[in-house]
Structure 1
Amino acid sequence: MPVLVKDYIWRQTENMVVIRVPLNGVHCSKVDIFSSDNYIKAHFHPFLFEVFLFSSVKEPRSKCTVGDGKIVFELQKTECDYWENLEANLSKEEQREMRKKILERSQENARAEQERKCVKRAELDRLAVRHQIVIDANQRKRIDEIKGKVKEIAMRELEEWKSSNQTKETKGKYSSVKQDVPTERKSAIYKKNFPTNKSSPAVEPDENVKPVPLPRQNGTVKVHFTARAFPTPQRESQAPEEEEWLKKQAEARRRVGFVVEDLSPDELDPVWLKEKGDNFFKLGNYLGAVSAYSHAISIGSKMPALYMNRAAAHMALGNLHKTVDDCSTALELLTPCVEMNSLSRARCHARRGTALCRLGMMQQGMGELKAAVALQPNDDKHKMDFEKAYTYVEADELE
C-alpha cells in the first residue's frame, strides 16, 4: 500500500500553478510521472502523489522538473483565473471514474500518436525511395553520356586511322608500279641484245634467318610443398603473426580442454596433475582442480587419490551426485582392505556420507559416517559428523 504525500507546497498566478513535491530521500531516477489536462500522478516507491486538479491545464505547455530532492510541476492554466483550491472536490467513486476515463483517453492518444508516427515514417521512407530513384536515374544518365562521348571519340579516331592507312596503301601501289615497268623493259632489252646460255646462280640462304632449335626432351619436374598450418600460400601469409596466433590457440585449448598434442611432458604425468589440482583446491579454484583431476583420470590413471580429491572439489562446488560417484569409484580401487589404506577409505565414507545427508538421504549417510568412525575411531571430526547426522535422524523420527 503506497504512502500518500500530503506535505507538498503549491502557489498560483493567473496563468500558472507551481507545485513542489518532496522526494523524501528517494532517488530521482526511481520517479514515475503521469499527467493529463486535469490529473497529475507521481509514484516513487513507497510514496504516491496524486491530484485531481481544480480546473484543466494546457498539458503541452506545462513542464515537470525532477531534481534536488523534489519534483516541481509548472502548469499552464487553460483559463486565466485564480483557483479556489488545488484539488477538485470529488468523491472516491467520482475519482475512480475520472481516473479510468483519463487512462482510456491517454491510451487512445498514445495509439493515435503511434499511428501518426508510423504514417510519418512510412511517408519519409517513400520520399527517401523516390529521392534515391531520382539520384540513380541521374547517375545512369550521366554514365550513359560519358560512355557516348568516349565511344564517339574512339569511332572518330578509328575513322581517321583507316583513312590514313588507305592513303598510304594507295601511294605505295602507285610508286611500285611506276618503278617496275622500266625494270621489265630494261631486262627484256638486255636479254634481246645480249643473249646468254649461262644458268642462273643458285639462291643463297639468307644470313639473317636464325636456325630453328630441336624439340626439347620430355621429363618430370617434382614440386615439394612446405607443410603449413594455415590454408593460405606462403607468398600471401604473414609467418610471425600466424605463429603467434597458433601459440595463442594452443594456450586456449590447453586451458579449456587439455589437448594432448599441445601438452608438455609434465602435463601428461598423473602425479604432477594431482599436485596441480591440489594447489588449485587450496587456492579455492575448484573448477581448475576438477579439470586437473579429470585430465589425470582421462589419460588412464587409476590412482584412488584422484577420485577422492575430485570428490572433495565436487562437494565444494555443490555437485553432490558426482561426489557420491567419485567416492564409490575410489572405494572400489582401494582394495584389498588393509590397514595401510584405512585412512583413505574412512575419508571416502565420510565424504560420501556427508553428500548423502545433504541430498536428504539421512539413513544412508549415517551408515557411511558410521563406517568412517569404525575405520578411524580416534578422528573427532568423523564422530562429530556422525553425531550431527544421528541428531537429525532422531528429530525426523520424532516429527
Structure 2
Amino acid sequence: MPLIVKDYTWTQTESMVYLRVPLKGATAEHVDILSTDEYLKVHFPPFLLEAFLFEAVDEAKSTAKIGNGVAVISLPKKIHRLWDHLVLNDKQTKKEIRERALQAHMEKTADGRKEKAVKKQQEKKYALETMMKLEQEERDLIQKMKDEEREKATAELEGWKKRQIQTAVEKPPINLTNRDKVQTLHQASHGCSVNPGEHISVHLFLIKIVLHPMKRLASGSRKEQLDLPAPRSSGTIQIKFTPRVFPTALRESRVPEEEEWLRKQAEARRAGNTELAAELKDLSDEERNPDWLKDKGDKYFATGNYQGAVNAYNLAIRLNSKIPAFYSNRAACHLKLRNLHKALDDTSKALDLLTPPVADNASARARAHVRRGTAFCELEVYTEGLQDYSAAIKIDPQNKVLQADAHRIRQIIQGCITGPEN
C-alpha cells in the first residue's frame, strides 16, 4: 500500500482553497498532480494524497506551484462560500468521484493528443505551402532574367544588321578597272556582252560578294575591317534551390534520439569507479565485471534463487549505476520476494535511465512499466497501476496479454470484481 500523506495543511477564503503538501524530499519531476472539479490527487512515490473535495472547484483556473520541498495548490471555488470540511468521508461517493475523475482525465488526454496531431498537420501544411510559394517566386525571377537577356540579345542583333546595310550603301564608287572585272564576270556568267552602264544593281551585288574579297587577297597592305558586333558582356546568374522537406519515413525517424541513447549507453559501459574497484580489490576479474554479474543474476532468477539474484544485481549496480537493465531485473526479483516498495523504486530508476524513448529501448521500457504497474496493483493502488499498463500497451499495442490485464484492472477500479487476495 502507498503511504498516505496526512500532514498537509489547508486554508480557505470564500472564493479560494489553498493546500500545502510537504514533498518529503521528492523533486518536482517526480510529483504527479491530477485535479478535476471534485477530485485532487498528489502522488510522489511512495506517498499519495487523495482529496475528494467538499464542493466543486474551477478546474481550468486551478494552479500548483512546487518549490522549497512543498507543493502549494490553489483551487478557485465555483460557489463562493466557506466549506465545513475539505474532503468528503462517504466511501460510495468517493468511489464514484474517483471513477469520474479517471474517465475525465483519460478523455482530456485523448483530446490533447488529437489537438496536438491536428496542430502538427496544420504546421506541416503551412510549411509546404510557404516553400512552394518561395519556389514559384524563384522560378518567376529566373524566367524574368532570361526574358531580359533574350530581348537584349535580339536588340543587339537588329542593330548589327542595320549597321551592315548602312555600310554597304556608303561604299565608294569603283574605278574602271574594277568595273571591267565586273563586266567580264557578268559576261562569263550569262554568256553575252553587257554594257558597262547597264545592270548597276547586279554590278553592286558582284562588287560586294566577289570584288571586295579579291581586293583583300590581292593587297596585303590594306585589310578591310568587318563591322562585327561587340562581344556580349559576361555575367553570373546566382541560382539558389530551396530545400524540399517531404514527410517521408526517414525525416520522421528518431535518429537524434537513437544516437543520444546509444551515446548514453556507451558512456555507461565505459564508466568506471576507481574508488570502488580499490574497495573490491579482493574480488576476481569476473566478479568486478558488471555484465558478468548481470548474467549471474539472470541465471539465479531463472533457477528461483531470487535473493542470490538480488545480491548479484546489487554488486553490479555498485560497479556501474547507469545501466537500466540492472534496476529493472532487480525489480523483478523484489516482486517475487514481495518487496513491493523496493520494486517501485527500482522500476522508476530504470525508466529514468531509459531516456530518450527510442526503438532500441522500447521493449525495456515496456517491461519496466509492467513491473511497476504490477507492484502498484499488488499494493492495491490500481489507478497508478492502470497508468503504467496503459503506457506499456502504447509501446506494444498488439500485446493481447497486456490488454487483458489492463481490462481486469479497469474492472477492479470500477468495482465490478474484487482485487487479488493477499
Q: Answer yes or no: same fold by TM over 0.5.
A: no
TM-score by length of 2: 0.41
Larger radius of gyration: 1
TM-score by length of 1: 0.43
* Larger RCO of the pair (alpha carbons < 8 Å, separation 6+): 2
